Amino acid sequence: METIIYFLAFCVVTMGLILKFDKKQSIRLNKILKETRDVQPLFLMRSAEEKLRSLNVKLYGNIAVGPDAQDGRVYMNEGARQLVSTRLTEIVNSYHAGEIQLKEYNAKLNEVTAMVNEAKGMNFEQIGY
């Protein structure tokens, strides 16, 4: 009988500690969520930066040296290059001016990347804007 009473007391103390720990963790989690509510997704931002860097290398060539160096400039019609470059500049300026959100910026960079990949062997007249 004594063993059962000790076991029940142990269970009550353990449950109390678990509930106290859970409450403390939920308070910490809510505090972190409030602090990071306005922060843009880090991985999406990093992805957009990598896409922009890759597009700049494809359009203008590579000036980096070392392990981060990528393949050089893509060979394409100069008219097509100017068209893609103008489109890229418009997108970057819109993002920096706050006219488009990060997700839309990332999607438009995907479109420009597809446009560059399409334009490798095409004439200027064949490129769709």
Q: Mean pLDDT across the stretch 46-68?
A: 76
Q: Whole domain around residue 78: which residue ranges?
A: 42-126
Residue 23 to residue 17: CA distance in whole angstroms: 10
Residues 29 and 60 in one domain: no
DSSP label at residue 1? -
From 64, 47, 67, 23, select the one nearest 110 (Cα to Cα): 47
46/25 same-domain check: no
Within this chain, do residues 33 and 64 fall inside the same structural domain, yes or no?
A: no
Residue 1 has pLDDT above 90, yes or no: no
Q: What is the DSSP string of 70-100?
A: --------HHHHHHHHHHHHHHHHHHHTTSS
Q: Provide the number of structural domains found in the chain.
A: 2
Q: Are residues 29 and 52 in the same domain?
A: no
Pair 8, 66 in one domain: no
User: Which pLDDT band holds residue 33 (cuts at 50, 70, 90)?
Assistant: confident
Task: Kindly state whether residues 28 and 7 are assigned to the same domain.
Answer: yes
